[in-house]
Structure 1
Amino acid sequence: FIRYYIKVTVDIPYASPPQGMKYFTIIGPHIDCMDEQYLKPIIGQDKRTTCCLCCEKGPVVLRTQLERSAYVCGESIKLRANVDNQGEEEVRLKVKLIQYVEYFIDRGVLGVTKEVQHLVLEY
């Protein structure tokens, strides 16, 4: 099994930074984290525009990046998030780590598949 934890620190100027920490374990087959398929960065981006009746306000753009897609036991997972708020409203960032597991049982011609998702961390 592999045991991980995620530690989140919010950097607030001139204030004590709030922190959160969550441990989780992965039980499964051995994988080589240095394999090329796991070394590619994971990048995400989303853009939202808020409206009030017919007035469109400035967009909010979120860009996120993980260095790669596989980590070893005890290694920190660093999530980079960049929020570009071009509107006047305050923006709060919420982070969720969701574990997706797919089970497959081979029963001859027909197999049985089950998918489960579990909220590991919400901050």
Structure 2
Amino acid sequence: MKQLRQIEAAEIMVAMNKYTVNYARSLLAATPASQLVNPEKPKAAKGISQQQLELMERESTNLEREFRLVEDSYGTDHLDLVLARGYVSKLISNTRVIRYMKMHHAEFLPELRKITESDALTS
């Protein structure tokens, strides 16, 4: 693999928390020829046809693109969730809101409490 593709592959391995030789080989097999040091040398992939290899390359490219989109929006999405959680916490601490929720929407109250008690957004 060319240097930039090696960095991408390492980033993918870190993001997926997979550090096996087989996973690295699958990333190599899914690497387009344009990102290989020796593109004319055929990639050795046991038990995989050329058609399957091309399909893996396309799927890998699509997956990487989707991963980058999610990665780009993660910070903003996380901030929005933290702000929403704070707002819900403030509402839940209001006795008038609690009384109204118990009278008209009691089924939502336990779920709103779970949101405010969740530690998932604090890390």
TM-score by length of 2: 0.24
By percentage of residues, which structure has more strand? 1
By percentage of residues, which structure has more helix? 2
Larger Rg: 2
